[in-house]
A and B are shown apart, each in its own frame.
Chain A
Amino acid sequence: MSSKNPLIVFFHKLGSAPHFYRISGKLIPWLWAIFVVLAAAGTYWGLFRAPPDYLQGESARIMYVHVPAAWLSMMIYALMAIMGFIALVWRIRLAEILMISSAPIGAAFTIIALATGSLWGRPTWGTYWVWDARLTSELVLLFLYLGAMGLHSAIDEPRKAARATSLLVLVGVINLPIIHYSVEWWNTLHQPASIGVKGNSIDPSMLWPLLINATAAKFYYGANLLTRTRLRLMEQDSRKNWVRNILVPNKGQSTDGGDH
């Protein structure tokens, strides 16, 4: 079943390692550039232009880091589940690599969210750690990330490792909303979420830098993910010609691969 649809052809090409390497190589500098511009703007706005919170004072500014990190930590896990599903059903190797390359980034953002959350908790709640619903589910999310990374690194054969991890992440993602709601139910000490579908309780002067920083974080994820994925692809394909051609451009298909 061949298709002439240019979009489908593009996606099929993207699935092949050399094409992905080339296209992502062009994309990465742009992603980094957009990230730097947005993060600088959002951080400046958040730290110097936005007003301090009338209750929490200056310490509320930590939310310009905390909230984007917390959002992204959950989004990355959901994306890992989608890529894991693709990897399991269609056995697309690129999806496997994208899935596992996302894990350390997601775990890092989870740690950032936990650290900033507990730093914010010190002046607000008077203690660094409170077993509040959202901090606890973020902690459980960190364990889910660690489990996925641990399982992947424990299995030697890369494709088997990716398939096992994909399945684990899928089971985890079914559980994630259940964990979230059960933890929320278990303890609702935290102030209710300020940004929701029904309308925001946050002033636009504070919402804008927040949204800009959240977007910046997503571009950071994109740039970091593509960089990691390219490295993993090269590592796995280190004996293939396309990698040789990149590492040793002039020699073409020489026998000396140039790796190691």
Chain B
Amino acid sequence: MSALTGFNTILRRDLLIAVRKGPEVLMPLAFLLVVVSLFPLGIGPGPALLERMGGGVIWISALLATVISLDTLFRSDFEDGSLDQLLTSGIPASVIALAKITAYWLVTGLPIVLLSPLLALWMNVPTDTWGILMVSLALGTPVLSLLGAVAAALTLGLKRGGQFLALLVFPLYVPVLITGTGAVMAASDRLPYTPFLGLLLAGLLVSLAVMPLATGAALRISVS
């Protein structure tokens, strides 16, 4: 099977599984909503304070929602043996990784991007920066998925891999978080925000080139 057909097949299969699973797939989104709503409750509902923190809170919550769902990325395929089958099928491991990460992002990352205006409304983020927030999330959440996939692949063999994941990925997420919130902050301060978006795009392209290879290698280590 060629790499492209392999990619398409795995992508379609994973999306189909996600659709069949139904509401379970939306749990990270519910988690995101809960976390964001905790901030006004914890720090007080002052509109000015919320407006100042809004971008950062939404970004941090998006990051947490990614982390709690990362463990599901390869886990079920690993446990029922289909990951072994895939890795011996002749499709390059990096293509398998990329297909699964793409499906994962479409299911968990894209809804976060689409939901962000609602969160921005809650956090009193000015309407004219909603677009920047969405673009920053659209560029940043794929990076979170790509970086997280390596850690998810490395912790596959562990019984409580999920607990480790946070420790492994948070340091790697620091630059994404800084540039993502930086873009929103700059936009709300009427400062140029394009450098931040440019950096996010650069990060996306670099991790798109490197992380599928690293994840493929990590999958091979974990199933060996």
Contacts and interface: CB of A to CB of B under 8 A. Distances in A.
Decide if the interface of chain A is mainly helix, strand, loop or mixed: helix
A175 B211 CA distance: 12
Nearest to A145: B171
A16 B136 CA distance: 51
Range of interface residues on chain B?
A: 20 to 34
A40 interface: no
Contact of A179 (B151, B175, B211): B175
A83 interface: no
B122 interface: no
A171 interface: yes
Interface in A126-180: 140-141, 143-144, 146-147, 150-151, 154-155, 160, 163-164, 167-168, 170-172, 174-175, 178-179
Contacts, number: 70
A163 B220 CA distance: 10
Given A167-B154, A185-B178, A172 B172 contact: yes
Contacts of A174: 210
A140 B174 contact: yes
Interface in B144-188: 147, 150-151, 154-155, 157-158, 164, 167-168, 170-172, 174-175, 178-179, 182
B171 A143 contact: yes
B164 A175 contact: no
Interface of B: 147, 150-151, 154-155, 157-158, 164, 167-168, 170-172, 174-175, 178-179, 182, 203, 210-211, 214, 217-218, 221-222, 224
A119 B154 CA distance: 37
A155 B158 contact: yes
B197 to A, nearest CB: 14
Given A150-B167, A170-B214, A175-B147, 14 more contacts: A88-B217, A140-B171, A140-B174, A143-B167, A151-B164, A160-B224, A163-B221, A164-B222, A167-B221, A171-B214, A174-B210, A175-B171, A182-B179, A183-B178
